[in-house]
Amino acid sequence: MQVFLIRHGKTQGNLEGRYVGSTDEPLCPLGAGELLGRTAPPVERLYSSPMRRCLQSAQLLYPRLAPIPLDGLRESDFGDFEYRTYEQLQDCPAYRAWIASGGRQAPPGG
C-alpha cells in the first residue's frame, strides 16, 4: 500500500505570508487554477482534512472521488499567531521562542 500526502492549493493567507491553520479559508483563484488539470497519483480512497481549502483541492485533483474528511488531518492551530505574518510577530518573545523550539512547543493559545 502506498500513501500520498498532498498539500492543499494556495489561499489568500498563503499569498500574504500568514500563518493559516485553523482559519477555514477557501482556495484563492490562483491556488485553484494551479490545481486544475494537474495529474495526481491514482488512488483508491481519498482522505482529506475537513478544511475548505483541503476539500476543494481534493475535488479539483480527484473530481471522480468523494473525499472522506478526517479531523486528524486538520492543520495545526497557531493560536495567538493565527492569520498573522512574520512581520507582525517578529518582535514578540513568545513567537521567537516558538520558532527557536522548531515547532516542538505549542504557540500560545494553540
3-state class (DSSP) for residue 11: strand
Q: How confident is the model at residue 20 (pLDDT cuts 50, 70, 90)?
A: very high
The per-residue DSSP string of 54-106 comes to HHHHHHHH-TTS--EE-GGGPPP--GGGTT-BHHHHTT-HHHHHHHHTTT-SP
pLDDT, tens digit, for every residue of 38-94? 999 999 999 999 999 999 999 999 999 999 999 999 998 999 999 999 999 999 999
**How many helices and strands, by DSSP H and E, does the chain display?**
5, 2
Location of C-alpha cell 500568514 = 18
pLDDT confidence of residue 103:
83
Class of domain 12-100: alpha beta
Residue spans per domain, the chain: 12-100
Task: Name the pTM for this structure.
Answer: 0.89
Say if CB 9 and CB 35 are below 8 A apart. Answer: yes
User: Do 19 and 82 touch, CB atoms closer than 8 A?
Assistant: yes
